[in-house]
Chain A
Amino acid sequence: MGRSEVPALRDVCLEIPAGEFVVFLGPSGSGKTTLLNLIGGLDTASSGQIRVAGRSLVDLTEAALTTYRREVIGFVFQFFNLVPTLTARENVELVAELSPAPRDSGEVLAAVGLDERQHHFPGALSGGEQQRVAIARALVKRPALILADEPTGSLDFETAVRVLKVLQAACREMGHGVLLVTHNQEIVHMADRVVRMHSGQIAEVLTNDAPADPEALQW
């Protein structure tokens, strides 16, 4: 039996203004993570154009994509991907080393509410705390764009809200654009823009003139 190619994304056309909080919503397999990976330079598209902060990602070499990720993107993942042998602060400092002008790691951790926990190892932190370390790690190098893939997917409601507040603050107060992938319908209320995806295509794009505070969310 031969292998058949299944396109993860088709006919996607989207423009996102800088500094917005954008939520990509859709069921599993709808292509939202693939789109996020393309924007983050983790995957490359077989055809089409992707431009982020004035750069075209299509023709970039692997080395150039690495530089792009280093300079432009901050990642937050569902399963945190912390280095378990480094403390919270060291995890942040690890990424800070990549930036020519990073934020102070301690201050960033304080900003995400982990001032007291910065010398703890990931194993000693709760899931929410680990995710906030992951956000601090993304923030420390002052990325133009934070890409968060299901950042609350493995968290309980209260912890998730806390994480979302940190992400919203990163957008509103620090000026980072945030692209958040989720299948949680409630989260769309806090977004500036909502991109609904289905079967590898954009079903609709909605703008939200009055984004909600995460604490007002319910699920």
Chain B
Amino acid sequence: MVSRLHTKLLRDIRAGFWQILAISVVAGLGVAVYQGLMVAYENQKLSYAISYDVLRFADVTVAMKRAPRSVVRQMAQVPGVRRVEGRIVLDLEVEQGPGRRPRVTGRLVTLPDARESEVNRVRLLEGRLHSGGPRRDVLLEASFARKHHYRPGDSLYPVLEGKRVAFQVVGIVSSPEYIYPVQSKQFLMPTPELFGVLFVRQSQVESLLGMSGSINELVFLTHPAAADRVGYTVMNRLRAYGAQDPMTRKEQPSNLLLQSDLDGYRPMAVTMPLLFLGTAALAVSMVLARWAQAQRGQIGFLRASGFRPIAILLHFLELGLVAGAGGGVLGSLLGAQFARWIGAMYDTLLHIPFQARDAHPEIMLTGVLLSVICCGLGAFGPARQAALLPPAEAMRGSAPAQPRLAARIRLPLIIALPLRNLLRRPLRTLGTASGVASSVMLLVLSGALLDSMDHSLGTYLNDIQHYDLIVGFAAPEAESRVYHIGRWPGVSRAEPTLELPVRLGHAGKEEETVVIGMTPGARLRRLPGPEGRAVFPLPGGVLFTNALVHKLTLERGDWLRLEYTQNTREFRARTFLRSGPPVNQPVGNPVYVRMDDLQRRFGRPLGLPPNSVTGALLAVEPAFEAGVRRRLNTMEGVSLVQSKQELVDQINELTAYSKAFMTLFVVFACAMAFAVTYTATDSVLWERTRELATLRTLGFSQGRVALLVSLENMAMAGLGAVGGLWPGAFLADALLNASQTEGFTTRIFVEPQTYVLSAVGPFLLVFIAQWPGLRRIRSLDLAATIRLRDE
């Protein structure tokens, strides 16, 4: 037979069903966020691991100028090498047919002719792999193919040795090297509209480039932990062939950015659920404290009858555990959907060769347990208090109040009553206000995350980049070419830009990025410094982003080493510059140097022509933009033309899923705020049903009773709102700092309306949330309620 104490528990749950459900919803949201984020996180990690494993993603890569194919066999003998493949990798211009962007940057990557590659294989998604025969087949990396709507049978035209050569697309593939398809570490976001990877047969490239029997890159699979050693051994042995510094898997651009993305994701996956579950614990505590108060007489009787304290403790604890279990179940159902949704988002963003879609029951179980534990912990305090209540005291009814301050209130009764109620038990009032505060905190937090992201992107797109078109040259060109473009009709301003990949060094730390040359008086790219003032590099100085300040532990005035990343024996460039003030640039981590400084310090050592530039920023009158683009696209040596709008679209596409996350958090926070507010207000009404019923029997109108309750609840909401605003902004700042990725440095920014809505929201929610409770009181059988000593 079910114990009658359990019958009581079930009936209590039924009577307070909506409160328990509200708590379960809060806990469930926490579990859903935890499960969704953790399952997605684990699946992403697993997807990368499987893809890397199955497709034999290289542990280390060594690029060379040119070497005979025979080095492959020699390097296979290097201790620690498991497999090695030699290939040709070449960046070049690719012309596209009508209806597509005329020119893009392509990367030719060779695959063996008659066998699968030993290292860095590709996975066929559509079409077929290379076949033998003389026809020029190409396999396109999926993100580029999808962006430009390539299907098997289409053609495209790489420019090899100055000649436009037709290749036919036979298949669409994904590659472990280009899951995050960036050209190099200096490109922090994929630009499939501008850059694509073309996998072609080795023999065809060899003949087209006159590189018969040659390779320019070696990719290795090594024994565990041997990658560094193998890389340096190979580099040293192949110095004669122009071997560059080895690149381990950890440094490989796609993998580096994917890892950075995962690392940035984890704090969110831990913090957000904890906040939700913590709030659920608070809500449980708040409700049970009031339930225990309302049931003091019953507790007293139970204890007087011989029920042991442990029975009372477990009885109240069970209420918390039930809410937690309910939250666990709700959360795991919602979390599974959430995880699927995140997985689908990644699918649209990345082409991962092998997708893991595990349900991760261990995470689900952990989520349920976390919910039960958090709600159990929340219940423990009030349950313990109830259990330790001396029976004689419990039987006396209300707990001793602290009336001194309350008694001093000399105000009209309609205000004094609610205020006295709040002051009578300040700790419990604070407890309830904390529940509201935690929901306000989450509202501010999620709103602030969204605001900060919008603000950061706004800063980058509106405050820094003022150009209409950006032009990139295939090879460095004379500065005069930019001024020539500047005289075209419709071009109101043309500013040269010189960008070079560099490795920065300071205090024993290194970071690869790009250095950008700035011409004095530049207007199309402005650099916001501290307090938003525009800054410009001084002669011999370098400006760097805030993110680099932390990464390289830089301070203003420090000497920073800049080294060209593709130094060879013939051309080496390295210089030291003094750090200026940091630039508030949220996207990318470039460093800025004066154009003449950069040309002098890097141009000559690298063998560049005098006054070389690598591109231009253009301001173009809207009516002329299409014409200028057409002209640029047909201009020799121009490899990139991108409008500001395309950059905006590209960033929006890339950040769409982060924004969707944040928006979902806002929705979750709103749902939680409602649930907590409902719990807070309804538990007040629950506790005071008899008192309010008495007021009604005394002749108080329903409206007056509602006003009394509303004033008390509003005061509590006000306390909560004040208490939740600052912690929300503080947490958002901490979370943003912990979640920075390689490409994005988002700084805290909270729109005033976020504060206003977060602060005003609880009042509105209180108004809605107390309505069911007030309705219950209106429909009470007053006589029956008053007849009961304890409700």
Which chain A residues numbered 51 to 94 have a C-beta less than 8 Å away from chain B?
62-63, 66-67, 69-71, 73-75, 77, 79-86, 90-91, 93-94
Residue ID in chain B nearest A149 by CB atoms: B395
Chain B residue numbers with a CB within 8 Å of A69 are: 304-306
Instruction: Say yes or no: B789 contacts A79, CB within 8 Å.
Output: yes
Question: Quick one: given A81-B789, A123-B781, are A86 and B7 in contact (CB under 8 Å)?
Answer: yes
* Interface membership of A215, Cβ < 8 A: no
Instruction: Say yes or no: B300 contacts A81, CB within 8 Å.
Output: yes
Please measure, in the bound complex, the distance between the C-alpha atom of A160 and the C-alpha atom of B790, giving whole angstroms. Answer: 21
* Interface membership of A42, Cβ < 8 A: yes
How many Å from the CB of A81 to the closest CB on chain B?
A: 4
Instruction: Say yes or no: A86 contacts B8, CB within 8 Å.
Output: yes
How many Å from the CB of B314 to the closest CB on chain A?
A: 14
Question: Quick one: given A42-B304, A66-B308, A94-B8, are A81 and B297 in contact (CB under 8 Å)?
Answer: yes
* Interface membership of A158, Cβ < 8 A: no
Interface string of B108-119 (1 = CB under 8 A from A): 000000000000
Please measure, in the bound complex, the distance between the C-alpha atom of A86 and the C-alpha atom of B616, giving whole angstroms. Answer: 82
Question: Quick one: given A79-B297, A90-B7, are A71 and B306 in contact (CB under 8 Å)?
Answer: yes
* Interface membership of B298, Cβ < 8 A: yes
Please measure, in the bound complex, the distance between the C-alpha atom of A69 and the C-alpha atom of B788, giving whole angstroms. Answer: 25
Partner of B4, one of A67, A97, A124: A97
Instruction: Say yes or no: B304 contacts A93, CB within 8 Å.
Output: no
Chain A residue numbers with a CB within 8 Å of B300 are: 81
Residue ID in chain A nearest B4 by CB atoms: A94
Partner of B791, one of A74, A84, A98: A84
Interface string of B290-323 (1 = CB under 8 A from A): 0000000110111111111100000000000000
Question: Quick one: given A37-B392, A79-B789, A86-B11, are A95 and B305 in contact (CB under 8 Å)?
Answer: yes
* Interface membership of B787, Cβ < 8 A: yes
How many Å from the CB of A28 to the closest CB on chain B?
A: 14
Instruction: Say yes or no: A123 contacts B3, CB within 8 Å.
Output: no
Instruction: Say yes or no: B305 contacts A80, CB within 8 Å.
Output: no
Residue ID in chain A nearest B396 by CB atoms: A33
* Interface membership of B246, Cβ < 8 A: no
* Interface membership of A43, Cβ < 8 A: yes
* Interface membership of B12, Cβ < 8 A: yes
Chain A residue numbers with a CB within 8 Å of B390 are: 42-43
* Interface membership of B414, Cβ < 8 A: no
Instruction: Say yes or no: B395 contacts A90, CB within 8 Å.
Output: no
Residue ID in chain B nearest A81 by CB atoms: B301
How many Å from the CB of A102 to the closest CB on chain B?
A: 12
Please measure, in the bound complex, the distance between the C-alpha atom of A137 and the C-alpha atom of B12, giving whole angstroms. Answer: 20
Instruction: Say yes or no: B304 contacts A63, CB within 8 Å.
Output: no
How many Å from the CB of B645 to the closest CB on chain A?
A: 65
How many Å from the CB of B415 to the closest CB on chain A?
A: 31
Instruction: Say yes or no: A75 contacts B11, CB within 8 Å.
Output: no
Interface string of B1-31 (1 = CB under 8 A from A): 0011101100110110000000000000000
How many Å from the CB of A203 to the closest CB on chain B?
A: 24
Which chain B residues numbered 479 to 507 have a C-beta less than 8 Å away from chain A?
none
* Interface membership of B343, Cβ < 8 A: no
Instruction: Say yes or no: B785 contacts A123, CB within 8 Å.
Output: yes
Instruction: Say yes or no: B789 contacts A124, CB within 8 Å.
Output: no
How many Å from the CB of B286 to the closest CB on chain A?
A: 21
Interface string of B219-259 (1 = CB under 8 A from A): 00000000000000000000000000000000000000000
Residue ID in chain A nearest B784 by CB atoms: A123
How many Å from the CB of A87 to the closest CB on chain B?
A: 9
Residue ID in chain A nearest B12 by CB atoms: A85
Instruction: Say yes or no: B305 contacts A85, CB within 8 Å.
Output: no
Chain B residue numbers with a CB within 8 Å of A98 are: 305-307
* Interface membership of A127, Cβ < 8 A: yes
28 A-B residue pairs with Cβ-Cβ distance under 8 Å, sorted by A, are A42-B304, A42-B390, A42-B391, A42-B392, A66-B303, A66-B308, A75-B305, A79-B297, A81-B297, A81-B298, A81-B300, A81-B395, A81-B789, A82-B788, A82-B790, A83-B301, A84-B790, A85-B14, A86-B4, A86-B8, A90-B7, A94-B302, A98-B305, A122-B788, A123-B785, A124-B784, A130-B787, A141-B305
Q: Which 9 A/B pairs are nearest by Cβ-Cβ distance?
A: A70-B306, A85-B11, A79-B789, A94-B4, A81-B301, A42-B392, A123-B784, A69-B306, A93-B4
Name 18 extra pairs, CB < 8 A, besides A86-B4, A94-B4. Answer: A62-B309, A66-B308, A66-B309, A73-B304, A81-B395, A81-B790, A82-B789, A83-B298, A84-B788, A85-B15, A90-B4, A91-B4, A94-B7, A95-B305, A97-B3, A123-B785, A123-B788, A130-B787
